[in-house]
Structure formats: structure tokens, C-alpha cells
Amino acid sequence: MTSLLEHPRGAEPGKPGDRSAFYFEQHTRLSDSPNGLGKNGARYGRTGVIHTPHGDIQTPAFVPVATQAAMKAVLPESMKQLGAQCLLSNAFHLFERPGEDVLDAAGGLAKFMNWDGPTFTDSGGFQVLSLGAGFKKTLAMDVTGLKSDDVIADGKERRAFVDEDGVTFKSPLNGSLHRFSAEISMGIQHKIGADIMFSFDELTTLMNTRQYQEESIERTFRWAKRCVAEHKRLTEERLGKPYQALYGVVQGANYEDLRRRAAAQIASLDFDGVGIGGAIEKRIIGETCAWICDAMPENRPRHVLGIAAVDDIFACVENGGDTFDCVAPARCGRNGAIYTRHGRYNVKRAENKFAFTPLEEGCDCYTCTHYTRAYVDHCLRAREFDGFTLATIHNERFFVKLLDDIRASIDGGYFEEFRDETMAHYYENGSRG
């Protein structure tokens, strides 16, 4: 416990958190190009540093997801060893258990889970989609003829109900009803105590009608204004705590005019950064980032929510993404899907039963330097937790290192070459994300 940052920057007894302890410092920006997707050929990709009370984040960076203040099957110390700079947890799930008061009494999210570094929390807005319509992050990309405002995934029960003031959730744990609003979300996130948190928003599906998407971004804007006001009030009230940065979230599905309108709305408010959210069609993910960055002040860091396909990461970095989070590396690893420079493969195949080689030749992660494919295959088939741990460590290292290498390529002036070479190798066998 002594390794933790006991006195975060900008926290003084009896005083509100010092906002100057959080800021973004830009280093290298990609040059504009005739093919740039931003205004006048702008390419918003860059390197920089997000300074937070609990430490710095070198960007671009991958943010592993510790949903319930824990990486499934992997200790925080192991995440630090594999190069993770920061972790993201889910405000809704922490609200359900152990409760935000527990984290507040423990000294905040980082101290509670013995994490020596910056932390993020999302707002609960994702649950509007996952509990409401029953979908996960990835939606069908061909949504022709599927427009509906009462869309629900097959076999799912609607567990979230949106109104003007907020959202009523039916708990997936025990069915009890809970209420989230802008003010409630801010109160919960302040008590959880992450360095970076997000305003409460409504995440729609690509299947919602154009009219509903318009209504939704206006509702998200009204909620955003309430979040900013409540965030300021709580910052002044909660003395002796480090400043928590608040990011606004831009929605608008796959409509350029709605994304631009929402970006201008969020840019007009006193946020510390921006979250690029929502269900986004893969074919226009780079364009979507560029539309939003056209409106954003460059001193605000940009977080792309829920992205972990290699081509998507390159597209988003090139067009302004600074940080990225996704559950896919850990979730896929627990199911046997292993990410490598030459694509993704399933380690639980018969050919690996006698494969006494690393998950990936040349990988420097703990798993690859100590264990074999045969052992990981065995553990996963036997449902031994060691298999979850070893596969997750490798996959998280893959994405942390990918973003580290992208950052080096931007600083070194060879981003395009690195992008093209990486994607050629990764997709040479038609690998999935």
C-alpha cells in the first residue's frame, strides 16, 4: 500500500480540488493532408500527455477496463507490469456493488483497488443501451430497413426506461429499480473518485430513427449542462479531494450533421475533455472522429469509448483519438481468442494441444515469456482461472503496446508506414478485429 500516491496533486485539506492539476499537453501533431478527413484536410492525430492528480498518461494510450474495480483474473500489479497507464471502471456497476460510499470511505477508486495511477469512470449512459435495448457495443453494421424507436434485441427484456429527467434502471442483479439522472450520476462518480469521469448521456442504437436521434442529442445536451453545474457544485463542496476532470460525450449515431451539432454543443460547455461515444458504423469511424474534432478545442483530450479493433484504432488515432477503452481484449482472451501481430486466432484448437511455443513469438508479455500455447489451451479448456489470467495478460499487453508503438510512430514521423505495415500483417489472413 505504501506505493500508492497518498497525496494526489491538487488536493489540500479544507480546499476544493485544484483544477490546474488536470490538463493536456500536446506534443506532436500529424501534418494535414489532401486526404485528411477534418476541415481543410486536417488530421487531428497527435501525441501528448494528460496530466492528472494521480499521474500522467502518455497519449495515444489504451485504457484497460476494470469494470467492477477489478480486471477479471488479473491483479492491478500485473496490469502495471504489462505497461497499462490507467484503468477504467463502470459507475453503474460500482453503484450496485459495493456502493459509492464504500469507495469514498476507502479514499477513492485507485486506492480501493490498489492501483498506482490514473483512473476513469463512465457515467452509466452505456446502460441506457445495454439494459434498454439489450445490445452490446457492437451492432449490425447494415441497418437498412431496421429503423425503429422500440428496438429490442432478441430474447432480451427492456431494463432501462428513458425520460426527460433521467433513466430508470431495473437491476440485472436482483431486478430492483434504480434511478440515474445527471445529478445522481455526478454524485456517484464524485464519490467513486476517478481522475476522469463522463457526463451522463443517452446512448442510442443505429436502429433508432432519425427523429429519435435528434431528440436524443438535445436531451444529452440538456443533461450535459446539468452535469457541468452539479460537477462544479460538488467540486466546491467536497473539500480536500483532488480535482476530477469531467468529459462531455458526443452522440449522434452515423449522421454527420447530428455529430457536428452535438460536438458544437459539448464544445460550448466547460468540460475538461470529450468522449466520442455511441454506436458508430465501422465504415465511417474515422470520419466521425474528424467531424467531432473539427469543433473541439485542441487543449481538450479526446477519449473514444469502446473501440478495440486494430483498423478502427488506427482510423481513430489518425483523426484525433487520444485514449481508448474496450472490454474486448479481456473478454476475448477468456474465450480463447488471442491477438497477435499476424491476426487473431483461437488457442483452443486441436493443433495447440502439443504446441510448446508462446502465444506469440517475440511477444514480451509475462505469459509469452513463461508459458506455452499448450498450457493456456489446457487451462482454458479446463476452465482454470490461470487460463483467463494468462490470456488476458497477453491480450491487454497487445493493445497497450500497439498504442505505445503508434505514439512512437507519430513522434518519429513514420505513422503512415507503421499503420500500413501493421495492418498488412494483422489482416493478411483476413483476421477479425
- Annotated binding residues, as ranges? 122-126, 201, 251, 278, 363, 365, 368, 394
Distances (CA, A) of 230 to 28, 89, 233, 302, 396: 35, 21, 5, 22, 35
Catalytic residue among 272, 312, 322, 325: 325
122 assigned to active site: yes
d(CA 189, CA 339): 33
For residue 60, say if its preceding peptide bond is cis, omega within 30 degrees of 0.
yes
> HSE-up of 375 (CA within 13 Å, CB side)?
15
325 assigned to active site: yes
- 8-state DSSP, 31: P
d(CA 52, CA 110): 13
Sign of the alpha-carbon dihedral angle for 352, 358, 361, 363 = positive
Catalytic residue among 122, 195, 312, 322: 122
For 160-270, where are the E strands, in sequence order?
160-162, 166-170, 177-181, 196-198, 245-250
- 8-state DSSP, 261: H
Contact between 356 and 332 (Cβ < 8 Å): no
Binding-site positions for substrate: 122-126, 201, 251, 278
Distances (CA, A) of 120 to 29, 85, 144, 219, 236: 25, 11, 35, 24, 20
In the chain, DSSP finds a helix count (H) and a strand count (E) of 15, 16
Q: At 168, list the grid cell.
A: 430508470
Q: Where are the alpha helices (DSSP H) in 131-209?
A: 182-192
Binding-site positions for Zn(2+): 363, 365, 368, 394
Q: First vs last Cα of the chain: how many Å apart? A: 38
Name the packing angle between helices 285-295 and 310-318 (round to 10°). 30
d(CA 69, CA 402): 24
Active site members: 122, 325
